[in-house]
Chains A and B, each alone.
Chain A
Amino acid sequence: MKSNAAIYGKKKFSLFWVLAIVFAVVWLVIAGAPFVFQIFTSLKTQGEFITGGLFKIPDRLSFENYATVMQGGFYRYFVNSVIVLAVSLTLLLFISAFAAYPLSRMQFKLNRPIFGAIVATMSIPIHITLIPVFMMSIRMNVYDNVIAVIGPNVAFNLPMSIFILTAFMQGLSKEIEEAAEIDGCGKFAAFFKVIFPLSKSGLATLGIYNGVVIWNEFIFVMILTQSQKSRTLPLAIWEYQGQYSMNTPLIMALLVLSSLPVILLYVFGQDKLVKGMMAGAVKG
């Protein structure tokens, strides 16, 4: 990556660097301290936490909290989260690629107004849709079913995804598609055989970015489901927190377990995530 290290880095041990590093370390503490508290506390028993205080190093590491969380139906929430993520993300990526294709590469009268309307949807607060979507899920008989959450997940992440993919597809060369058309490909064959495969890197970026958003989604799951059999991890946190609110170490163990998948994803997909954020904010 290009950087301005060249100009900043000329003098190595100046006051500038001392201040910069102090600032960096202070921020490291601010960003990291809550997580240290989380992991440290999760390895204590409740008794130890209450009597020994926060800073007491436990006599032995206790993994009982993790075991308790796992036995308490954590697995079910996790599976639900995976199902919701997989279905929502697959639909989201296909549908936004479908929509981005004509918006980026076809000339027709309503092209710009439709694109504008989709982009404008980004600033709409989800809260105005809560009551109607809640009623709709009851009428459609999907209330308290993981399926109910998928529609809103797809719909509310579509505008940004379409926006990003449209920009991405505009960057693909025209010639390949034209060559395919001369070879007798229709628009549909051109899409599936040429454009969609060429968009892989854009789709991967979007997939990781939206994956984090969907994995963490809270309010729709809260209003559209009510029992453990259909709730996802953010709701597990919410419910355990109500049920075991006095047992701080247990709650901390739960937080560690529920955050791990996203942190792992980040470790592997760092570049893609950054690209997705950048693309998304170009014209938020």
Chain B
Amino acid sequence: MAGSKMVSLRSARQHSIRIAAAVFLLPALLFLIVYVAYPIVESFITSTMAWNGMGRKRVFTGAENWINLAKDINFWRAFGNNVKIMFLSLVFQVPFAMALATFLDVTERRGAVFKVVWFIPYLISSVAIGVLFKYTLDANYGVIASISKLFGGGGVDLLGNPRIALYTVIGVVCWQYIPFYMVLYLAAYGTIPVELYEAASIDGATRSQYFWRVSLPLLRPTIVSGMTLSIIGSLKYFDLIFVMTGGGPGVSTELMATYMYKLSFVRYNMGYGATVASGMFILITLVALIVISTLNRKTEL
């Protein structure tokens, strides 16, 4: 009798925990279902329709949009631009951010002024940065053009030249995000136990040995998560580039997200816009899975 009472008491307790958990989780799940899960399903449904967004008439067209997407040179070019940004961002962001963080860590408080100025680019909204650089890089009145004129040169059009616009944009992206990774690495430096410095110094480690053999291995998990963030973020870019170039000149800086936006909210081709968004979702999810599984496997070794 006593035994069964114990069991029922425990199950009653389990039951009350389940109810409490459900109540606490409810608001969050509600928001995620309404604003994330349902829209994803709805977008995939819309991707099989011809629809201009006005009125309710949606015409089911089956796989037509998807076949068009597979053959859409503009979409794949945009994806290619995203991938270029992704690779070049990694190549520049990781070493520069690491160098800055190492400098700040080494100088401690003496480098505080540098830290404050270096970090500001990350705080400003992408829209403000996009507009700022549009003017900073202006072919006639911008900073670089003005310097060129000072030395007797002509105007310099870094954003208006289709062959170099993408690389200019990548430069601005790095300018904006390097501070983020810098602070990330700096925070990670703060977690390295001070005993390790002492031990290495007693063993006679030089500065470079210290960096490569002690700091870098310990910072690796942070570098990996920073890289993951950068890769996934690169495929989602929108604000900065939309404001700075609008995807142009031509389609030279078009991204998946700017292409999706224009299709849906400028040309009101919402059916195909939803297909592009869904394609983007699939590609990003695949890349995220690959990146997370490969990078995380390497760290564990």
Binding site for B on A (CB under 8 A): 1-9, 16, 20, 23-24, 27-28, 30-35, 37-38, 41, 49-50, 53-55, 94-96, 98-99, 101-103, 106-108, 111, 114, 118, 121, 123-136, 151-152, 154-156, 158-159, 162, 186-188, 191, 212, 215-216, 218-219, 223, 233-235, 237-238, 241, 248, 251-252, 255, 258-259, 262-263, 266-267, 273-275, 277-278, 281-284
Stretch with Cβ within 8 A of A (4 or more), from B66-74, B152-160, B271-279: B271-279
When distances are taken between beta carbons in the complex, the residues of chain B under 8 Å from A121 are 32, 36
The answer to whether B284 touches A123, judged by C-beta atoms less than 8 angstroms apart, is: yes
The answer to whether B288 touches A218, judged by C-beta atoms less than 8 angstroms apart, is: no
Return 7 A-B CB contacts under 8 Å, by A number. A98-B25, A125-B236, A125-B281, A131-B39, A132-B43, A248-B138, A267-B116
The answer to whether B188 touches A278, judged by C-beta atoms less than 8 angstroms apart, is: yes
Quote the shortest CB–CB distance from A143 to chain B (angstroms).
12
A129-B35, A278-B187 given as contacts; is B108 within 8 A of A31 (CB)? no
A34-B143, A281-B229, A284-B226 given as contacts; is B194 within 8 A of A2 (CB)? yes
When distances are taken between beta carbons in the complex, the residues of chain A under 8 Å from B257 are 125, 127
Residue B107 interfacial (CB < 8 Å): yes
* Assembly CA distance A282 to B34 (angstroms): 28
The answer to whether A219 touches B123, judged by C-beta atoms less than 8 angstroms apart, is: no
* Contact among B35, B119, B184, B264 for A266, CB-based, below 8 A: B119
When distances are taken between beta carbons in the complex, the residues of chain B under 8 Å from A158 are 28, 31-32
**Beyond A125-B284, A218-B126: 11 further Cβ-contacts under 8 Å?**
A31-B118, A99-B27, A125-B257, A129-B39, A158-B32, A234-B125, A248-B138, A248-B141, A255-B128, A259-B128, A275-B187
The answer to whether B103 touches A187, judged by C-beta atoms less than 8 angstroms apart, is: no
How many residue pairs, one in A and one in B, have C-beta atoms under 8 Å apart? 295
The answer to whether B17 touches A99, judged by C-beta atoms less than 8 angstroms apart, is: no
Quote the shortest CB–CB distance from B217 to chain A (angstroms).
14
Quote the shortest CB–CB distance from B56 to chain A (angstroms).
10
The answer to whether A234 touches B128, judged by C-beta atoms less than 8 angstroms apart, is: yes
Main secondary structure of the interface of A (DSSP, over half): helix
The answer to whether A237 touches B43, judged by C-beta atoms less than 8 angstroms apart, is: no
Quote the shortest CB–CB distance from B187 to chain A (angstroms).
4
The answer to whether A28 touches B136, judged by C-beta atoms less than 8 angstroms apart, is: no
* Assembly CA distance A241 to B129 (angstroms): 12
Interface size on B, residues (CB 8 A): 107
* Contact among A16, A24, A215, A278 for B125, CB-based, below 8 A: A215
A33-B143, A274-B187 given as contacts; is B278 within 8 A of A102 (CB)? no
Main secondary structure of the interface of B (DSSP, over half): helix
* Contact among A31, A124, A278 for B281, CB-based, below 8 A: A124
Quote the shortest CB–CB distance from A233 to chain B (angstroms).
8
Residue B2 interfacial (CB < 8 Å): no
* Assembly CA distance A101 to B32 (angstroms): 17
The answer to whether A1 touches B123, judged by C-beta atoms less than 8 angstroms apart, is: no
* Contact among B28, B32, B39, B105 for A133, CB-based, below 8 A: B39
A108-B21, A132-B39, A284-B229 given as contacts; is B132 within 8 A of A255 (CB)? yes
Quote the shortest CB–CB distance from A241 to chain B (angstroms).
5
The answer to whether A131 touches B273, judged by C-beta atoms less than 8 angstroms apart, is: yes
* Assembly CA distance A251 to B243 (angstroms): 14
Residue picked from B14, B17, B120, B236, most chain A C-beta under 10 Å = B120
Residue B166 interfacial (CB < 8 Å): no
A4-B210, A118-B28, A284-B228 given as contacts; is B21 within 8 A of A129 (CB)? no
The answer to whether A5 touches B28, judged by C-beta atoms less than 8 angstroms apart, is: no
Residue B270 interfacial (CB < 8 Å): yes
Residue ID in chain A nearest B133 by CB atoms: A34
* Assembly CA distance A108 to B34 (angstroms): 24
